[in-house]
Amino acid sequence: MGEQRERTFIMVKPDGVQRGLVGTIIERFEKKGFKLVALKFVWPSEELLQKHYSDLSSRPFFPGLVKYMSSGPVVPMVWEGLNVVKTARQMLGATNPADSQPGTIRGDLCIQVGRNILHGSDSVESAKKEIDLWFTEKEVVGWTPAAENWVYE
Ligand code: IDP
Ligand code: MG
């Protein structure tokens, strides 16, 4: 059961919100069988995004990335389930949508790396950091879906 409680941080980026893709993106994770445990709608500050992307601060695209990410509201979420970090990354597709396989979220719904509509944690460790950065402990809700025994054997 403990393995099913792995968590990842997924965020619809400003272009995903502006293009009306919030529902579509949530639906992909819901239909897969993962459990939503936190969600909000916020217009993030540049300061928060600089922290979120601190690993990329030396990259030439960093200023543009922070500007893009702070250009409008985003939808940060926490999803829970067995191997959710790795599986969610596979569901997202490659960072550059030009390389994302058809059938992945990015592969189906976007075209350029600078407008790739959503974020997903790349490891269990970064998921923990990102969840703590975007949510308080109280905002992450533990619950048991009625269908849990039909998703897991
Ligand atoms: P990831 O989002 O798939 O984890 P990262 O390498 O962590 O990819 O990069 C974070 C975000 O920075 C990407 O999702 C994308 O929005 C942006 N990004 C990455 N590489 C480039 C680039 O070469 N040009 C513009 N934006 C980039
Ligand atoms: Mg990343």
* Type of residue numbered 30: E
Q: Is 13 annotated as a binding residue?
A: yes
CA 120–ligand 2 middle distance (angstroms): 7
> What integer best gives the mean pLDDT of the chain?
97
* The pLDDT of residue 50: 98
CA angle 120, 67, 52 (to 5 degrees): 40
**What number does the ligand 1 atom closest to the CA of 94 have?**
3
> How far is 25 from 104, CA to CA, in rounded Å?
11
Q: Is 61 annotated as a binding residue?
A: yes
Q: Which residues contact 98 (CB under 8 A, 6 or more apart)?
A: 111, 112, 113
Residues recognised as catalytic: 119
The per-residue pLDDT for range 88-125, each reduced to its tens digit, is 999 999 999 999 999 999 999 999 999 999 999 999 99
CA 4–ligand 2 middle distance (angstroms): 23
Answer whether residue 130 shows pLDDT above 80.
yes
Q: Which ligand is nearest to the CA of 56?
A: 1
The per-residue pLDDT for range 31-76, each reduced to its tens digit, is 999 999 999 999 999 999 999 999 999 999 999 999 999 999 999 9
